[in-house]
Amino acid sequence: MTELRNVEADLSRFRARVLVASVAVLFAFSLLGARLVYLQVYRHADLNEQAENNRTAVVPIVPNRGLILDRNGVVLATNYSAYTLEITPSRVDNLEETIAALEKVVDIQLRDKRRFKRLREESKNFESLPIRTRLTDEEVARFAAQRFRFPGVDIKARLFRNYPYGELGSHVVGYIGRINQTEKEAIEEGDDEGNYRGTDYIGKLGVEQSFEQQLHGTTGVEQVETSAGGRAVRKLATNPATPGNTVMLSLDIKLQKLVEDMFGDRRGALVALDPKTGDVLAFVSKPTFDPNLFVDGIDTESWESLNESIDKPLLNRALRGTYPPGSTYKPFMAMAALQTGARSPTTLINDPGFYMFGGRRFGSPENEKGGIMDMNRAIVESSNVYFYSLANEMGVDSIHDFMKPLGFGQTTGIDINGEVRGILPSQAWKRAYFKKQEQQKWFAGETISLGIGQGYNSFTMLQLAQATAIIANNGVKHKPRLVIGTQDPVTRVMHPLPMAPAEDLGYKPENVAIIRKALLGVTQGGTSTRVFAGAGYLSGGKTGTAQAVTMAAKGKYNSAKMEEHQRDHALYIAMAPADDPKIALAVIVENAGWGAGAAAPIARRVFDYMLMGLYPSEEDMAAVQKGMAAAPIGKPRRVAEMTALLPAVNGAPAPDVVKAAAPAASSAAGQPATAVARVAVPAPPQAVARLASPVPR
């Protein structure tokens, strides 16, 4: 019995174990079945998409960047395609050994390595970074033959920006550069993140920066089938990129070159406007720089040369350089007197050559004749005493309130970024500017120098040119603009940009006539008479000389004993023709002395070019560059007869004028799709022909 009970107990335990095991197995199969149902039914669409993504990739197609043209269709910024040698650091085991081996295949300079190192510091480890740009056909072929040795290294077709005229107009056109981390974060936070997929470069300065959205275009996408190793096998679908718009500037680039040539090696700025529209005809800042240096990432030596130069070539003096206006301020002071009723044009002021105020002697060196001055004579002969006394009568706040609508000390609203305000002083400004209470009080003696454009006055040439254009346009103010239209690359239709509404400052016509008559007198019997002798038109203008450094109260100016950068600036404002001005300008030549000697001759040649179609003779150009010119010398050249006003481009003639920008080229024919961003440009045919295999990705 005992054995029977033991057998039954063993069987019972066995059955229980079998039951437990069966339940466990059944439960496990139930879980597996449930999982299969979940994956096959509930997550079918998601997993199917993931599986599809494992064999396909969506690649951004970077659009062609839009062209930049001058008002006559001359190309100032364009694109070309070239091959670059690029490394993805995350896919390379030993970066230093790889670069050393690559040096034996292609030419890699020290500056290339430095640029690559800087890009690595600014970029993520999995990004593809160029170690060499603009490969020759032979270099492309050599690397393609040995590509198997360099995992993580590829040749890619990239789009490069090119500025065919180099330094000409560089501050206006600007340049593009590689997107830095700050710009990446700004893009990611904005609405254009998707449109910048695959884009490595962005506008950094000038029109390139200010019209980035117009120039960039719309990024396309390409869906490709990939192998297990991630290589592109075939193209599945394409949504092509839309190239950026062509941007047309108001600049006349030939006039721009003329002005830049006349400055020579001197520093300064010139802004020329159409007073009836606000269109910028010339926007010169000297010295200039070559924007092509920045496209691939500027090397250390070039950057130090530009950034540390005492001449500050990277400073846009027309937009950001601020200067005392000197005697060019006097016509606006006279207009203030007329409009506010502070003084009539017939009020007489004696000018003995100095003005005494508060026990201090204020000199009047420009006016050699002296004597009794009315408003017209005070402007024509540039009497300081007349305007010292006027400033004292008006007071600083009254001067400020009149000059502000003219644009002094204000941003003009021009359509490129970076404009500075300058300083139009007032008592409120001084209280806000100075921290110490004892410095915040305005003293009556500080007002005196404001009347002749000195003291705290500090304005840009753009502001001075706009104010001159307002007088030329009978008190009607236009916002300056550099871009006058954009062209759709697909329809090739030019769309003019609307002008901002004009603002009438309400000047009495008789008051404007008084000022313009005096400005005409400056060129006919005043300080710039010699410069405009024999001109085939009448113009109005005003010379000016502004201190670069503050002189002691009893100090005497002697340029021969001063450092070059401490000498006075030469200024000139002008408009022409005098009866119906079509151009108004302001020019400064830094540390060049009297306005009539250095600045006015530049204005004369600008007017000759615009109104008479004349270009300076070679001997006259040399005299202007040295600041030793008055009226033109030699035989002027006819602009219409000159075939090469613009420099050759890379040894070739200047690019043809673009009447209607051609639509951008489509994706490179015959290229396999790649797992990196592509550019919508053809690959160089010579390089393709020399490769034994399809173009490397």
Check which CATH number belongs to the domain holding 100 and give it. Answer: 3.90.1310.10
Handedness of CA 220, 223, 227, 233 (dihedral sign): negative
Evaluate if residue 228 carries a pLDDT over 70: no
Query: Is 678 a domain residue?
Result: yes
Pair (589, 616) in one structural domain: yes
Residue 50 confidence (pLDDT): 58
Asked if 65 and 217 count as a contact pair (C-beta separation under 8 A), the reply is: yes
Spatial separation of the C-alpha atoms in residues 280 and 283, rounded to whole Å: 7
CA angle (539, 544, 547) in 5-degree steps: 165
Pair (303, 228) in one structural domain: no
Q: Among the ranges 155-159, 309-313, 472-476, which has the highest mean pLDDT value?
A: 472-476
Closest CA to 592 of 263, 306, 292, 371: 263
Closest CA to 178 of 164, 160, 191: 160
Query: Is 330 a domain residue?
Result: yes
**Stated pTM of the model:** 0.82
Residue 231 confidence (pLDDT): 57
Q: What is the pLDDT of residues 350-400, one digit of tens each?
A: 999 888 888 888 876 665 678 999 999 999 999 999 999 999 999 999 999
Asked if 541 and 365 count as a contact pair (C-beta separation under 8 A), the reply is: no
Closest CA to 585 of 574, 577, 594: 574
Closest CA to 665 of 683, 684, 680, 685: 680
User: 43 falls in which pLDDT band (50, 70, 90)?
Assistant: confident
Q: What is the pLDDT of residues 14-31, one digit of tens each?
A: 777 778 788 888 888 888
Query: Is 16 a domain residue?
Result: no
Asked if 85 and 144 count as a contact pair (C-beta separation under 8 A), the reply is: no
Residue 454 confidence (pLDDT): 94
Evaluate if residue 52 carries a pLDDT over 60: no
Pair (278, 237) in one structural domain: no
Residue 649 confidence (pLDDT): 57
- The secondary element (H helix, E strand) that includes residue 477 is strand 476-477
Q: What is the pLDDT of residues 426-456, one digit of tens each?
A: 999 999 999 888 888 999 999 999 999 999 9
Pair (129, 168) in one structural domain: yes
Pair (423, 281) in one structural domain: yes
Q: What is the pLDDT of residues 449-489, one digit of tens each?
A: 999 999 999 999 999 999 999 999 999 999 999 999 999 98
Evaluate if residue 72 carries a pLDDT over 70: yes
User: 562 falls in which pLDDT band (50, 70, 90)?
Assistant: low
Evaluate if residue 694 carries a pLDDT over 80: no
DSSP 611: I
User: 5 falls in which pLDDT band (50, 70, 90)?
Assistant: low
Mean pLDDT computed over 48-76 = 79
Query: Is 580 a domain residue?
Result: yes
User: 206 falls in which pLDDT band (50, 70, 90)?
Assistant: very high
Residues in contact with 536: Cβ distance below 8 Å, sequence separation at least 6, in sequence order: 611, 612
Query: Is 360 a domain residue?
Result: yes
Closest CA to 284 of 599, 650, 643: 599
Query: Is 138 a domain residue?
Result: yes
Report DSSP letters for 393-454, one per residue: HH-HHHHHHHHHHHTTTS----SSS-----B---HHHHHHH-SSGGGSSPPHHHHHHHTTT-
Asked if 35 and 27 count as a contact pair (C-beta separation under 8 A), the reply is: no
User: 609 falls in which pLDDT band (50, 70, 90)?
Assistant: very high
Lowest mean pLDDT among 497-511, 514-528, 572-586, 682-696: 682-696
Residue 370 confidence (pLDDT): 81
Pair (533, 384) in one structural domain: yes
CATH of the domain at 575: 3.40.710.10
Pair (480, 585) in one structural domain: yes
* φ, ψ dihedrals at 196, nearest 5°: -105, 15
- Domain count along the chain: 2
Asked if 604 and 631 count as a contact pair (C-beta separation under 8 A), the reply is: yes
Spatial separation of the C-alpha atoms in residues 32 and 23, rounded to whole Å: 14
CA angle (557, 585, 474) in 5-degree steps: 115
User: 680 falls in which pLDDT band (50, 70, 90)?
Assistant: very low
CA angle (315, 320, 325) in 5-degree steps: 120
Pair (591, 670) in one structural domain: no
Query: Is 462 a domain residue?
Result: yes
Pair (669, 573) in one structural domain: no
DSSP 609: I
With 0-12 CB in 10 A as exposed, 13-18 as middle and 19+ as buried, what is 689? exposed
Pair (238, 261) in one structural domain: no
Burial 335-366 (b: 16+ CB within 10 A, else e): bbbbbeebbebebebebebebeeeeeebebeb
Q: How far is CA 550 from the centre of its chain?
A: 32
Spatial separation of the C-alpha atoms in residues 285 and 343, rounded to whole Å: 37
Residue 2 confidence (pLDDT): 63
Please state the length of the chain.
Answer: 697
Which is it for strands 129-132 and 75-87: parallel, antiparallel or unpaired? Answer: antiparallel
Report DSSP letters for 348-376, one per residue: -EEE-SEEEETTEEEE--S-SS-EEE-HH
Mean pLDDT computed over 588-607 = 92
Mean pLDDT computed over 1-7 = 66
3-state SS string for 12-48: HHHHHHHHHHHHHHHHHHHHHHHHHHHHHHHCHHHHH
Pair (587, 615) in one structural domain: yes
Q: Which residues are the active-site residues?
A: 327
Pair (463, 339) in one structural domain: yes
Residue 658 confidence (pLDDT): 56
Query: Is 30 a domain residue?
Result: no
- Residue range of the domain that includes 487: 253-289+299-641
Which is it for strands 56-62 and 678-679: parallel, antiparallel or unpaired? Answer: parallel
Spatial separation of the C-alpha atoms in residues 543 and 594, rounded to whole Å: 8
With 0-12 CB in 10 A as exposed, 13-18 as middle and 19+ as buried, what is 122? middle
Instruction: Provide the mean pLDDT of the chain.
Output: 84
Spatial separation of the C-alpha atoms in residues 537 and 475, rounded to whole Å: 23
